[in-house]
Structure 1
Amino acid sequence: MADPVDSGDELFESLRKIDLKKEEEKAKELARKEAEHNAKAQQRLAELIGTNSTLLVTISSIRLIGGAHTRRSFLDRLFNPLLSANRDRPYTLAEALNEVGSVATKLQRFDIFHPEVHTFIDRPSPTDPSSTVTDIDIFLQARERGRISLKTGTDLGNVEGSAYGNLTWRNIFGGAESLTLNASAGTRTRSAYQATFDAPVLSDPDTRATIDVLASSTLKPWASHEEVLKGAGAKFSWATKSGTRHQLGYTGVWRQITGLQSNASPTVRHDAGDTVKSSITHTWLADRRNHPFLPSRGYLVKTISELAGWGPLQGDVAFWKSEVETSGAVAIPIPGIKGDSGVSFTAGLRAGVLYPLAVGLGSETKHSRINDRFQLGGPTDVRGFKISGLGPRDGPDAVGGDIYAAGSANLLIPFPRVGKDMPLRLQLFANAGRLLALKDKKTSSESVYSTVAQLGDGIPSVAAGVGVVYAHPVARFELNFSLPLVMRRGEEGRKGLQFGVGINFL
């Protein structure tokens, strides 16, 4: 016979579960009714706007609710251009809502508010009842993000594992300024520290000024040394009306090639020691792809130009360095599948040249140094080769080159039973590349011309393979099985599995 106390406990526990279940059902029903109410309200609002889209309105005020730490002068630069007092004609209701929506989008892009920014419209008491123009007040409701955030974690990719810490202080002075402190330590990047202060200019999320300070120590086993960097820089970036982006920056950095291995080549030993690089850099970007890591249509064009040690820049090294990158993607229709099939073809091309300059007036032009030259090969550019596996070598060391060209072709196919909406693809690829050092000529221009001509002399190094691609929101992951098909003497291929993580793949 059951203990009456135990039976009573079981009864009360059963009743409690029944009550909880009823409360859960009530909560679900309330949530469903609220969702239906919101959907109907949105539908009524859309119908109301549709029938009154040509109604003439003036915006008398715009206010932000929830911006306690955002200063008024910062918001005035956003809001004042929309006020009808600063315009020579009234809006239509559709125009007013479109302009307010643009401002709400800008607020989201400053990264100081949560993504949801709600818009409310109020009509104050009319001062002129006979007027055919409606006066409205705009209220934007937002919720500020936490001003300080701390992240720690680990990274694994490109044959390196690391641990990192990141501290961000947002909206420091109430104008979307931010200070970011990064620290990391890993198997290849032994230590890296960086402090970056970033601020929008004139309340424009597309125009920004940045100042950064960095210190790092990185092992470079492919060239038998360790590189230590300490420096600072300043950047100014902006966007044009066509959507292209520019960045102009200055960097001053002290570099040290140290920690040479016992078998380091004469080239590495010759370049060991300290140098100071003082350079200005310009980056131009036009990105028309529909996805940064898994595009199915669109194109990208990017150029990077750097001038170091010339004229007033000073420093121990002088050169002109330029790179260009292009890529395009097209969707491939499949018979029997309506709309986007998820199958796409992408192709990319990169090329670069380093042109040595004289450090001072009257001095001779010197050969480039190993820490300024291009490196080619690895899971994020020419797959099927080891990191820096292509190009000139001196004994066991990859010493880099002054001119290169590389290209790839990729066919991306959705996995069966996974679907095209998942960021997971099967990849078939073929890529090729060639990296050369400048030939010794009477002048640097003759050397560049003859070396560029040599790029087309013979077949480049080629590899092909199959792999899996996963497009995470912050990076692209690839696991490929690669097979080198063409290699030159001394180059290092990578037959078998190769794992890569990055934001910029060839």
Structure 2
Amino acid sequence: MAVGPTAGTDDDPDDAKKVLKWQEERIARRLRGQYESAALHLSNLIHNNLSTPLNIHSVRVEGANNARGSFLGFLINPVLLSEPHNDVQSVLHAARSIADVLLRTETFSSVEAHIEKARDEIAGPRDVDLVFKTRERGRWFVKSATEFGNNEGSASITARMLNVFGGAESFEANVSAGTTTRKSFQGTLSAPITSDLNCRADLTAFGLHRDHTSFASCSEVLRGAKAVVRGGKPVSGMHELAYEAVIRNIGGLTPTASMSMREAAGTTSKSAVSFTYTLDTRDDRVMSTRGMYGKIYQELAGLGGDASFYKAEAESQLSRPLLPGVSGSIALRSGIMWALSRPTLFPDRFQLGGPLSVRSFQSNGLGPRDGPDSLGGDIYWSAGLSIISNIPRKAHWPVKTHLWLNAGRLDAMDRSRSVVENIKDTVTRPSVSAGVGLIYKFDPVRVEVNLNFLHKIRVWCLFQPRDCVIRNTRFAQVLWMSENRIQIFVYLLYPYPWKLRPSLLSVSELQTSPGIIARRRQEMEMTGLKWTSLFRLRDTPLCTLYRLYECTVDFNEDEMMMESHYWFHDQPTWRLADIPDPQDPDTTRYTILAAMAEALVQAFNYKIALGLRRGITRDDPFLVRKFKNDANPPWEECPSWTGNAGRLPHVLQLYPPLPLGGNGPEPEPIAATGTNPFLLRNIRANTNQLRNI
């Protein structure tokens, strides 16, 4: 017997509320228990009678006022004929299958299945009717939208009509106007062509006006039609066969349009068939953490019209969780286009660059150019590596951190060379970008705010265009002649540790391997690397001091001269007095480093006395005469730690000694003027190239 609260004798209202609440909870528990008991009883009843004979006499669909009877039969008859339905289990399975296919037509918002005794007088005692009570969706749908992003804004109106002819057909029309796509219209009629609804046919008419002036000094007007048959599901593989007929017009040329773009202007037509295969098992199309995506596209044009080519593209993405809250993904895209009977046309070529392909580059800005115009290419590839993680302690936020690396290239096909040679040339000369940023997931899109690691290089190129062209052209020439370009890229871009670290070769290791510095410099293309801003950003005074030590022991005068010029001109903020103490455990090496630091002070002050200035006079040599008469030259001073390095107990012969002093005045501020810091430490070395101007 349940015991509940009792009301007080003074009729307290609070006690009365407690009694009422207890009564409501008691009734709710009783009803819930009864419901659970009934559900369990029904489940047991069905389970114990699954093999009971039962036949489907008829199927009725109620509420389908706008659906054709022939279409409903087209959907239901294959289910009824797929297997015999002569027991309870098979009848339940048929009811579930029919309800599912009715819902997948997108014509009905709800479908309820009922099993009723057959109404027909000639029906047997084991015959039943399957009755589906449906509620149809609204047939009309209209929406308007405004969109902004990627330097583009647009406004659009979309109208959709469902179940147009009573067979789950849909018609959708879209009209939009914007900044890049100035005007566009698209009307699509779609209808199922198989009873399982996994295969549909689309007929589309479209027209649009695109503004290409941001990369090609022209605009493009297209009008055409497209017929598509598609089948399958993305998770198991979707196939699409299409035919497209389109008329294109390249016009609206700007006054700065190049000759190539003027030659491409005019009206052309294309008649092409295409096939697309898509596989998508990602858990999220916007920001996937696991799964894969693959797409293969092939197009053959030349069945009439002006365009005649074969085009193939492949795209893939693989995502995997790395740590709790951290996932990584790698994406690859490539494409090739081969002209058949006529040269390829501008509207058909590939374009590459921008946030959807190679980040931090101008949209459609990569590839062959003629002046301000991107002409497009016939062969391309792009790759991207992304690591996405949650904000610490905010895993539920839609904002994620993002670390990425992109590479890619777009080229014109050289018909005088083989396809393999064209592919090899394109793959081995990528454009690379890397950076960090934030991602905001805003279904069905994602917004990225990125900071490019290589932005510093681009800013330097903007303000020093002459040096940018000279230095990076020279670096590119040296780099792509190297067989170790991948190793060089890894060395240059691997971010941990961010500041480069010196190699610690002993004197004996350098002397027993003569020429080791020249060989290593050739393998890593150190001369070319020092022309890049990214290397100079990651380099340190201590690394350069160790490289000068290696040049001294190995007696590589050319490298010593270039390292001295690099320190004096390219790293003007590296003051010699600020060189940190290397604290090298090798006494001999530490002594040579100290002597080299003092020799650099003497050499740099020698140049300063001649009128040279760090970071200034190489670009403007006419200032040398002005600085030579400077009353207060910016003399360099020795770092304090060099006094800790004493004299070696024995003579270290690195090269027959040559006097450090030479022609020209010696700077006054240096203590022990004319002294050789190497000879003072019992070391015989030649460092004359430090003074090379």
TM-score bracket, normalised by the shorter chain, equals: 0.7 to 0.9
Partner of 1:247 in structure 2? Answer: 240
Scaled by the length of structure 1, what TM-score is found? 0.77
Distance apart, 1:424 and its partner CA: 4.8
**Equivalent in the alignment of 1:284:** 277
CA–CA distance in structure 2, aligned partners of residues 219 and 353 of structure 1:
25
Matched residue type, 1:106: V
AA aligned opposite 1:329: S
Does residue 182 of structure 1 match 2:174?
Answer: yes
Are 1:252 and 1:277, in contact at CA under 8 Å, matched by a contact in 2? yes
Matched, 1:462 2:433: yes
Residue pairs, 1:277-426, within 5 angstroms: 277-309=270-302, 313-334=303-324, 342-358=325-341, 365-366=342-343, 368-419=344-395, 424-426=399-401
Match of 1:479 in 2: 449
> Secondary structure at 1:371's aligned position in 2?
helix
- Residues 380-412 of structure 1: CA deviation (Å, up to 9, x unaligned): 222222211222221111211111111112222
Alpha-carbon spacing, 1:419–1:260, altered in 2? closer, same or farther (3 Å): same
Matched with 2:155 is: 163
Deviations 1:177-197 (A, max 9, x none): 112111000011110011111
Q: Deviations over 1:225-271 (max 9, x none)?
A: 10000111211112289931111111111101101111112221111
* Alpha carbons 2:408, 2:430 under 8 Å: kept: no
Task: Write the mapping of 1:71-90 to structure 2, written as runs, cut at 5 A.
Answer: 71-83=68-80, 86=81, 89-90=84-85
* Distance in structure 1 (CA, Å) of the matches to 2:107 and 2:296: 31
Q: What do you get for the CA RMSD once the two structures are aligned?
A: 3.3
Q: Which residue in 2 is equivalent to 1:119?
A: 113
Residues paired across the two proteins, number: 433
Matches within 5 A, 1:19-38: none
Please give the secondary structure, in 2, of the residue aligned with 1:245. strand
Aligned CA distance change for structure 1 residues 299 and 461 (closer, same or farther; 3 Å): same
Seen in structure 2, the aligned counterparts of structure 1 residues 98 and 124 have a Cα distance that, compared at 3 Å, is same
SS at match of 1:290: coil
For 1:88 and 1:440, the matched residues in 2 are separated by 59
Aligned residues of 1:223 and 1:399 also touching (Cα < 8 A): yes
Corresponding residue SS for 2:92 = helix
3-state SS of 2:78 partner: helix
Kindly indicate whether the alpha-carbon contact (under 8 Å) linking 1:433 and 1:462 is maintained by their aligned counterparts in 2. no
User: Per-residue deviation at 1:56?
Assistant: 5.1
In the TM superposition, residue 81 of structure 1 has moved relative to its aligned partner by 2.6
Distance 1:241 1:52, change over 3 A: farther
Q: For 1:410-439, what per-residue CA distance to the aligned partner results, in whole angstroms no more than 9, with x for missing partners?
A: 22223445445x655332222211111112
Question: Which one-letter code corresponds to 1:120 in the other structure?
Answer: H
Choose between structure 1 and 2: higher strand proportion. Answer: 1
Higher relative contact order (CA 8 A, sep 6+): 1
Amino acid at match of 2:449: L
Supply the AA of the counterpart residue of 2:216.
Answer: A
Question: What's 1:60 paired with?
Answer: 57
Residue identity in the other structure for 1:385: F
Bigger Cα Rg: 2
Deviation of 1:120 (Å): 2.4
C-alpha contact 1:196 1:210 (8 A) present in aligned 2: yes
Bigger Cα displacement from structure 2, 280-289 vs 316-325: 280-289
Whole-angstrom distance in 2 between the partners of 1:462 and 1:51: 66
Alpha-carbon shift at residue 454 of structure 1 (Å): 0.6
Q: TM-score, normalised by structure 2?
A: 0.57
In structure 2, the CA distance between the partners of 1:240 and 1:290, relative to structure 1 (3 Å rule), is closer
Give the drift of 1:308: 0.7
Q: What code does the residue aligned with 2:112 have?
A: H
Secondary structure in 2 aligned to 1:122? strand
Letter in 1 for 2:333: R
Q: Does structure 2 conserve the Cα–Cα contact (< 8 Å) formed by 1:384 and 1:483?
A: no
Which of the two has greater helix per residue? Answer: 2
Distance 1:87 1:307 in 2: 39
Separation (CA, whole Å) in 2 of partners of 1:296 and 1:241? 17
**Distance across 1 between alignment mates of 2:402 and 2:89:** 45
Q: Deviations over 1:126-177 (max 9, x none)?
A: 9666xxxx54432223221111111111112222110000111111110011
How far residue 216 of structure 1 moved from its aligned partner, in angstroms, is 0.7
For structure 1, list consecutive stretches of 5 or more residues without a partner in the other structure: 1-24, 335-341, 359-364, 492-506
Q: What is the CA distance between 1:205 and its match in structure 2? A: 2.1
Q: Which runs of 5+ in 2 are unaligned?
A: 1-20, 459-467, 474-693
Q: Distance in 2 between matches of 1:181 and 1:37?
A: 53
